[in-house]
Amino acid sequence: MNIFYDENMPFAQEFFTDLGNLHSFSGRELQAEDIKDADVLLVRSITQVNAALLAQAQQLKFVGTATIGTDHIDQAYLKQQGIAFYSAPGCNAISVAEYVLSALVVLAERYLINLSTLTVGIVGAGNTGSRLAEKLSALDITYKLCDPLLEAKQGNANNDTRKYYPLDEVLKCDVISLHVPKTMEGEHRTFKLLNEQRLSALQNEQILISACRGEVIDNDALLRLKEQGHGVKLVLDVWQGEPNVLEPLVPFTEIATAHIAGYSLEGKARGSEMLYQALCNELKIAAKHHLTDFLPAANISSIEITQQFDQIVLNQIVKMVYDVRRDDAIFRQQLSEQGFDTIRKTYPVRREFSSVSVSLSKNAYSDVPHRLGFTKTSN
């Protein structure tokens, strides 16, 4: 069995080597000729899987994307061809939530903001929005959810009792964090969800964070707004038209990164693991490997907190594990010369909070770090 996989899938060789012959590829450069002998195709979000790409793949039986989003996959075509398809919902949700939290910590320090006074509007309450809500709850930060699709399903035995708010109300929150898929049609389409009209209604003191899909915000309208002197603070991880970034917009951002919010080692590796499990299930064989078999220890593996837990300590422990300013600096320095895809391909290893054990003295006792996802030190 020939298994073709994106070279940026961590531990792909470790997971899949027992199942067939492995062939790596560059996701943006993949052509139909390259995968004509593929039985299994494993991609990430930069590869458009459609009839054109699969035109010569006559023996293909399984396609998987190691990502939450699936807008790059022509699922109707795969179903028509009888090709099994799997994605990795929720694989990098924690990573994205921690990206947002790192951004909030950085901006709170930069502008002397008391995080506890903020109200955060979460647009999209699926896996990622839910993980962010959990971290905000740990910090007693008020949030409002907007997700009309999930709201419509309430009461249908899905045990979702959360309160949802209209989009216009959520867009009035101090912070707006976008976590929706890209959808091009339907009553609740997300393509240019934040259009010129909605962007113009934002207030100068608000913070807008986009870590989902670039097309959810009209980038040209956003640039015009900023050029007119609007003070909304921008954290942009995704860009309309990737990998081609609207570069004049970059100087107007507080934090700018190359679609790496979900790029923690754990987040990417969970995608590999989920596809491995799906392929084993498809082949009707037992899965032998688990992510814990391959994850290395973090460079900083333990932290002891001996003082009262407050926003200063939060700032320190979050940035000790992941300081988003590193990725912002890389983006600004390398975008023009190296390019968007190269930044993603050469992304430095980043770990999640769970890779670090936190111990608390009696003076510092608080369950907040553990509720945020840091591992509790065993006694």
Domain ranges of the chain: 2-87+264-293, 94-256, 302-376
pLDDT reported for residue 343: 96
| 158, pLDDT greater than 80 | no
**Which is more confidently placed, 361 or 184?**
184
User: 0.85 exceeded by the pTM?
Assistant: yes
261, with CB counted inside 10 A (0-12, 13-18, 19+), is buried
Burial category of 311 from C-beta neighbours within 10 Å (exposed 0-12, middle 13-18, buried 19 and up) = middle
Q: How confident is the model at residue 364 (pLDDT cuts 50, 70, 90)?
A: low
The DSSP secondary-structure symbol of 8 reads: T
pLDDT 10s digits, 311-329: 999 999 999 999 999 999 9
Q: What does the DSSP assignment read for 199-216?
A: HHT--TT-EEEE-S-GGG
* Mean pLDDT (the chain, rounded): 95
Q: What are the backbone angles phi and psi of residue 102, rounded to the nearest 5°?
A: -60, -40
Instruction: Report the CATH number of the 2-87+264-293 domain.
Output: 3.40.50.720
Chain centroid to CA 355: how far? 18
**Which pLDDT score is estimated for 50?**
97
pLDDT reading at 182 higher than 80: yes
156 vs 259, more confident: 259
Topology at the third CATH level for domain 302-376: Ribosomal Protein S8; Chain: A, domain 1 (3.30.1370)
Residue 366 confidence class, pLDDT cut points 50, 70, 90: confident
Same fold, 2-87+264-293 and 302-376: no
- Residues 6 or more apart from 229 whose CB is under 8 A from it? none
pLDDT tier for residue 154 given thresholds of 50, 70 and 90: confident
User: Hey, which residues are catalytic here?
Assistant: 213, 242, 259
pLDDT tens for 189-241 read 999 999 999 999 999 999 999 999 999 999 999 999 999 999 999 999 999 99
Which region among 143-152, 180-189, 362-371 has the lowest average model confidence (pLDDT)?
362-371
pLDDT of residue 361: 81
- Tell me, what's the pLDDT at 307? 85
Q: What is the pLDDT of residue 378?
A: 61
Q: What is the pLDDT of residue 157?
A: 63
**Which pairs from 23-30 meet CB under 8 Å and 24+ separation?**
26/345, 28/243, 28/341
The answer, yes or no, to whether residue 58 has pLDDT greater than 60, is: yes
What is the arithmetic mean of pLDDT over 112-120?
Answer: 97
CATH topology of domain 94-256: Rossmann fold (3.40.50)
